[in-house]
Amino acid sequence: MYQPLADKLRPQTLDDVVGQRHLLGPNGLLRRVIESGNIPNLIFYGPSGVGKTTVASIIAKQTDRKLYHLNATTAGIADIKAIIDELDTFLAPNGALVYLDEIQYFNKKQQQSLLEFIETGKMTLVASTTENPYFYIYNAILSRCTVFEFKPVGPTDMKRAVERALALAIGERDIPVEDGVAAHIAQAVGGDVRKALGAVELLVLGAGESGVTLADAEQAAQRSHMRYDRDGDSHYDILSALQKSIRGSDPDAALHYLARLLEAGDMISAARRMLVIASEDVGLAYPQCVAIVKACVDSAFQLGLPEARIPLAEAAVLMATAPKSNSALMGMEAALADVRAGRTGDIPAHIRDAHYGGAAKLGRGLTYRYPHDFPHHWTAQQYLPDELKGARYYEYGPNKTEQAAKAYWEKIKG
């Protein structure tokens, strides 16, 4: 019967696992926990194909527990209850280890129903998720589990796994492998071991007279390194990295994260975030930046991809290399804090609307002074409510533009 290469190469011990040295290395915490034999309830968080299922299988084997593998997309509480019914039989004399894949697909009621089973100690839960558990798993479960984060496998470890897979897949057959194949696959699969082994198997099965070629490897692994879900963690992580790179004035990193968004076809998110950055992070240090970025975004949408990358790159580099100021944002936050706390007060009568009959009888606008009637278009008068008189929300930033404005008004206002 056909057996996928990934199953043939599935590690049987912790030392065989590719990557995850931070968890399973000689001094890794997860390794020490497993070797103790006392396994708490665990949550494995990380992308697909990095060893979460494999490690759960090894735990069950090393602790002599029966492994039950469920997937939350198809399983329910009834399946958990059926497992519990087996625990006191000869089928699971040492208890059960239930590996629940994609636990984020269990709703709140289903997740809470797990509590009665995991608190008895008869069943050990190892749940896995590709989504941030602190967003998708409810506190009642999180408080009873330890979260371990699995990371994408690095190219060095991946290359060793690919070379081993090539040797096993080729076997005794005389199939040449072109230089650079293993390195390309290791780099292109984005840390996904399962994807790498699948690419190896495909290449060996489809090897022609020239054997396994680099051109075939490039085709088999193309774009497979892209981890992106418009509703998932990677979407928000890349947008966050884009904004923080621009805020940190690193044009190279800004272009990198913009490229990842555009390569995934998500121009809308990139454009929206850059419009925010223009005001939030560049702000009053270079106020014309807002108009320029808006023009770049408009051009991008008129052009469409792939040409849209050009004006968007211009906007990203412009903002990354521009002076920065968040003084307007901080002023707004300070003003909002007062409003939300109920510190508002009545609007002074002299600046209320006076464009209606009877306004004068109510005292509206009687003492208002029109600034354009005075030198430098300014005259002293109170604008804030009495309760907030003297409140200061905006502080001039240390950049050239705001300091010039500060010097101007200090001269005018004396």
Q: Tell me the per-residue pLDDT of 327-346, one tens digit each, with 9 for 90 and over.
A: 999 999 999 999 999 999 89
pLDDT digits (tens, 9 = 90+) for 228-266: 555 555 778 899 999 999 999 999 999 999 999 998 888
What proportion of the chain, given as a percentage, has pLDDT over 70? 94
Distances in Å between the Cα of 33 and the Cα atoms of 21, 62, 93 are 14, 12, 22
* CB neighbour class for 323 (10 Å; exposed up to 12, middle 13-18, buried from 19): middle
pLDDT of residue 329: 95
Is 203 in contact with 219 (CB distance < 8 Å)? no
Q: Nearest Cα to 39, choosing from 86, 87, 96, 103? A: 96
pTM of the model: 0.65
Which residue reads 């994260």 in tokens?
257
pLDDT of residue 224: 53
The CATH number for 20-149, chosen from 3.40.1360.10, 3.30.420.40, 3.40.50.300, 3.30.2320.80, is 3.40.50.300
pLDDT of residue 76: 81
Is a pLDDT exceeding 70 seen at residue 374?
Answer: yes
Average pLDDT over residues 298-308: 92
pLDDT of residue 299: 95
Least confident span in 147-156, 209-218, 387-396:
209-218
The CATH number for 327-413, chosen from 1.10.3710.10, 3.40.190.10, 3.30.450.40, 1.10.150.120, is 1.10.3710.10
For residue 166, what are the β-bridge partners?
none
| 256 C-beta neighbours (distance < 10 Å), count | 15
What proportion of the chain, given as a percentage, has pLDDT over 90? 40
* CB neighbour class for 135 (10 Å; exposed up to 12, middle 13-18, buried from 19): exposed
Which residue reads 């009053």 in tokens?
284
The fold adopted by the segment(s) 233-321 is Zinc Finger, Delta Prime; domain 3 (1.20.272)
Q: Which two tokens stand for residue 385?
A: 């409510």
Residue 64 to residue 77: CA distance in whole angstroms: 24
Average pLDDT over residues 35-64: 89
Average pLDDT over residues 158-168: 87
Average pLDDT over residues 217-228: 65
